[in-house]
Amino acid sequence: MAGLEHGFRRAVSGAVSGIVMTEIVNALVYAGLLPPSLLLYFKILNMLTTIGLIMAMPYWGTAYLLGWLCGLVAMMQVSDFEALIYLVTSLVILAVRMFKHLS
């Protein structure tokens, strides 16, 4: 089962790839090589992947989730809104697990 280091790696690689892809798409639109309407599709796709990630979080192991949370904090370059959603979701899942474990 994937542990802390795997979760950390996933959060960091996800943040880095998201930043790189956003910059590439923005540069191509700015250079006139892609139509500006493509930005809307890119944002919709980003939102869908965020929703998919949040829906998968309850199935992650606790160590993996903690590692992912540490990676997220280390890579706070993602948008504030996205970081807040990820942070709240992962903390709620951890709180529910702790409550179930204690009761």
Q: What is the pLDDT of residue 70?
A: 83
Amino acid making up residue 77: Q
Centre a 10 Å sphere on the Cβ of residue 28 and count the other Cβ atoms it contains: 14
Mean pLDDT value across residues 60-87: 78
pLDDT band of residue 1 (cuts 50, 70, 90) is low
Helix and strand tally (H, E) in the chain?
4, 0
Structure tokens at 78: 């993602």
For residue 51, pLDDT over 70 is answered with yes
* Highest-scoring range by mean pLDDT, 14-23, 29-38, 64-73: 29-38
The residue ranking higher by pLDDT, 35 or 71, is: 35
Percent of the chain at pLDDT > 70 equals 94
Q: pTM of the predicted model, to two decimals?
A: 0.64
**Residues 35-50: pLDDT tens digits?**
988 888 888 888 898 8
The residue ranking higher by pLDDT, 73 or 25, is: 25
Backbone angles phi, psi at 19, to 5 degrees: -65, -45
Structure tokens at 72: 């997220």
